[in-house]
C-alpha cells in the first residue's frame, strides 16, 4: 500500500558514506537485514529509540538527522532541514555507489552544470546510460564549459592547471558529441563563472561548491532532495536555469 512515504535517502547516504552495506548494519546493530532494508527503501518506519541510537553511533550521524522526530517520513521537519540528505567534505568522498544509484535511477530528467565533468563519462560510463535512457524518454541537459572563455582560462590559472582544464573540457565535448543528436538530449557550452557544479537526477541533486584555488574534487558536496516548500532546491535549480538560458547549443551533425 502506498502511504505517500519515501525511501530514507539520509539513512542510505549515511550507510554509503560509512563504507558499509545493509548487511554490515544488520550485523552490528543486531537487526535482521530485511528490517534494515525496509528502513532504507520501503516503509519509512522509525526503529525503536535504542536501535536508532545504536545505528546513529555506528554511522557517526545524529539520530535526529536519520529519523526526524516530526512524523514518519524522512522528509519530516522544516523544509530546509528536510532537503539536506548528506554533506560530504569533498567530491572525492561521495561514494561510488551513490553516483551510480543516482545516474542509473533517473527516470525523468538529468541536468548537469560543469566546466568539464569528464569523470562522469570515464568513471561512471555515462554515455551508454544516456543512450539507453534517452530511448525511454529521459531528458538530459548538459552544460559544459567553453574552453576558450575567459572564465575557464582564469579558473585553470587559479587552480594551477593552465591548459589542463581546457583540455578536459575539449575531451568532454568530444564525448558528448556522440550523444548530442539523441532525442531529449541537449548539450550547451557556457562561459559563466562556475560557482557551483550541479548534478541533478530527478528529485535529487549533488551540489559541488568551488573554493578559490582548489580543484573541484577537493571541494565539499551537498546532497539535497526536492521537498515541498524547500528553498535550497529551487535556489540551485534557478541558478542552473540562468546558465542554461545563456549557454550556446552545440552544433549537432546528422
pLDDT category at 235 given cuts 50, 70, 90 is very high
What tens digit of pLDDT does each residue of 98-143 get? Answer: 999 999 999 999 999 999 999 999 999 999 999 999 999 999 999 9
3-state secondary structure at position 216: helix
Q: Name the residue with higher pLDDT: 215 or 132.
A: 132
Q: Are 17 and 93 in contact (CB under 8 A)?
A: yes
Asked if residues 32 and 25 have their Cβ atoms less than 8 Å apart, the reply is no
Stated pTM of the model: 0.77
Q: Output the pLDDT for position 251.
A: 84
Backbone torsions φ then ψ of 60, nearest 5 degrees: 60, 45
Average pLDDT over every residue of 196-210? 96
Residues 186-205 have a mean pLDDT of 97
Judge whether residue 9 has pLDDT over 70.
Answer: yes
User: For all residues of the chain together, what is the average pLDDT?
Assistant: 88
**b (16+ CB within 10 A) / e for 102-134:** bbeebeeebbbbbbbbbbbbeeeebeebbeebb
pLDDT score recorded for residue 241: 98
What is the model's pLDDT at position 204?
Answer: 94
Predicted confidence band of residue 73 (pLDDT cuts 50, 70, 90) = very low
From residue 109, give the alpha-carbon distance in Å to each of 13, 123, 161, 206, 240: 21, 21, 32, 14, 13
Residue 43 main-chain phi, psi, to 5 deg:
-90, -10
pLDDT at 238: 97
The set of residues, in sequence order, having a beta carbon less than 8 Å from that of 124 and lying 6+ positions away, is 99, 100, 103
Residue 61: pLDDT over 50: yes
1 has a pLDDT exceeding 90: no
Which cell goes with 110? 538529468
The pLDDT of 53-63, averaged and rounded, is: 82
pLDDT on residue 78: 55
Helix (H, G, I), strand (E, B), or coil: what is residue 97?
Answer: helix
Planar angle of CA 85, 87, 91, nearest 5 degrees = 120
Measured distance CA(8)–CA(52) in Å, rounded = 13
Residue 189 has pLDDT above 60, yes or no: yes
| % of the chain at pLDDT higher than 70 | 91
pLDDT above 90 coverage of the chain, percent: 57
What's the confidence (pLDDT) of residue 254?
A: 52
Q: Is the dihedral of CA 113, 115, 120, 125 positive or negative?
A: positive
Q: Span 57-85, mean pLDDT?
A: 66
Amino acid at each position: 500500500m502506498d502511504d505517500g512515504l519515501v525511501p530514507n535517502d539520509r539513512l542510505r547516504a549515511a550507510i554509503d558514506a560509512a563504507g558499509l552495506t545493509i548487511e554490515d548494519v544488520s550485523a552490528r546493530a543486531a537487526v535482521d537485514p530485511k528490517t534494515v532494508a525496509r528502513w532504507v527503501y520501503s516503509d519509512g518506519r522509525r526503529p525503536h529509540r535504542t536501535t536508532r541510537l545504536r545505528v546513529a553511533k555506528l554511522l557517526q550521524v545524529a539520530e535526529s538527522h536519520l529519523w526526524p522526530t516530526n512524523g514518519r517520513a524522512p522528509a519530516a521537519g522544516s523544509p530546509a532541514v528536510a532537503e539536506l540528505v548528506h554533506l560530504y567534505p569533498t567530491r572525492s568522498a561521495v561514494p561510488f555507489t551513490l553516483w551510480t544509484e543516482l545516474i542509473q535511477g533517473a527516470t525523468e530528467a538529468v541536468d548537469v552544470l560543469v566546466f568539464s565533468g569528464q569523470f562522469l563519462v570515464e568513471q561512471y560510463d555515462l554515455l551508454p546510460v544516456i543512450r539507453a535512457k534517452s530511448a525511454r524518454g529521459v531528458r538530459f541537459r548538459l552544460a559544459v564549459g567553453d574552453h576558450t572563455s575567459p572564465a575557464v582560462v582564469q579558473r585553470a590559472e587559479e587552480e594551477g592547471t593552465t591548459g589542463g582544464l581546457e583540455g578536459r573540457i575539449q575531451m568532454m565535448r568530444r564525448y558528448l558529441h556522440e550523444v548530442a543528436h539523441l532525442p531529449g538530449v541537449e548539450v550547451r557550452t557556457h562561459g559563466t563563472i562556475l560557482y557551483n557544479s550541479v548534478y541533478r537526477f530527478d528529485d535529487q541533486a549533488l551540489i559541488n561548491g568551488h573554493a578559490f584555488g582548489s580543484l573541484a574534487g577537493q571541494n565539499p558536496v551537498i546532497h539535497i532532495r526536492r521537498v515541498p516548500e524547500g528553498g535550497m532546491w529551487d535556489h540551485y535549480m534557478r541558478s542552473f536555469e540562468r546558465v542554461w538560458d545563456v549557454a550556446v547549443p552545440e552544433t549537432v551533425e546528422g
